[in-house]
Amino acid sequence: MSGNTELLSTTLATARAEDRAALIAYLPAGFPTVDGGIEAVKAVVAGGADVVEVGLPHSDPVLDGPVIQTADDIALRGGVKIADVMRTVREAYEATGAPILVMTYWNPIDRYGVERFTAELAAAGGAGCILPDLPVQESALWREHAERHGLATVFVVAPSSRDERIATITEAGSGFVYAASLMGVTGTRASVGAQAQDLVRRTRATTELPVCVGLGVSDAAQAAEVAGFADGVIVGSAFVKRMLDAPDEAAGLAAVRSLAADLAEGVRKR
């Protein structure tokens, strides 16, 4: 079975045709348990998420904030393995039909084996991978195997990226471009939003790929703001926090479904 790059592209194109941004949810595999994580993916899609990123928990998640680090710790203490990540992708895809990507640091793939990882992800029905710490110039082996198995390779651009660097990144990537920008502390909100908007503009100048923004969005109003200039709105910590704050798993699932519904309404008000 080949991967679902085409499903990802079609899903993003459908959102654009509806004159809205796509809602992309991030949830770590194995959190709060492997079964609970699968149910959480189903819940966010039921609430209105178009695409889901399943995080592969890592012991040194240098790019993740404290909320996601906490969830990763819980998953790792629970013994989550790459096989559990693949099972999460497979069962979530079979249950929802939504495009499911894996977001992971490079080291676990390198240790597991690129061919094995890409083959298993494609067999599970995965749409691709987001690789935040894999330099484009070192990505040829990964991209060769990903293309063979029909998987998208999503690279990350940042406000600090120079225009030439952005062009190099977008030329090598597929599926969509992940534009990363941090909200910063309270009070810097407007300037950070402007920075993200500028990053999207600079990225679009180099590619036809959809540009999706991960910006610390946590509510419908922020989702609507980002949807005004991006092709997709990526939300992670807000979902994870709802799960962490819930008194039990059932309440957590209800909370993430409700948040997805609010955010899905937000991305339609661009």
Q: Which residues are catalytic?
A: 53, 64
3 state SS for the chain: CCCCHHHHHHHHHHHHHCCCCEEEEEEECCCCCHHHHHHHHHHHHHHCCCEEEEECCCCCCCCCCHHHHHHHHHHHHCCCCHHHHHHHHHHHHHHHCCCEEEECCHHHHHHHCHHHHHHHHHHCCCCEEECCCCCHHHCHHHHHHHHHCCCEEECEECCCCCHHHHHHHHHHCCCCEEEECCCCCCCCHHHHHHHHHHHHHHHHCCCCCCEEEECCCCCHHHHHHHHCCCCEEEECHHHHHHHHHCCCHHHHHHHHHHHHHHHHHHCCCC
Sheet holding 156-157: strands in order across? 152-154, 128-130, 100-103, 51-55, 22-28, 232-235, 211-214, 177-180, 156-157
Task: Please give the Cα distance from 160 to 163 (Å, whole number).
Answer: 9
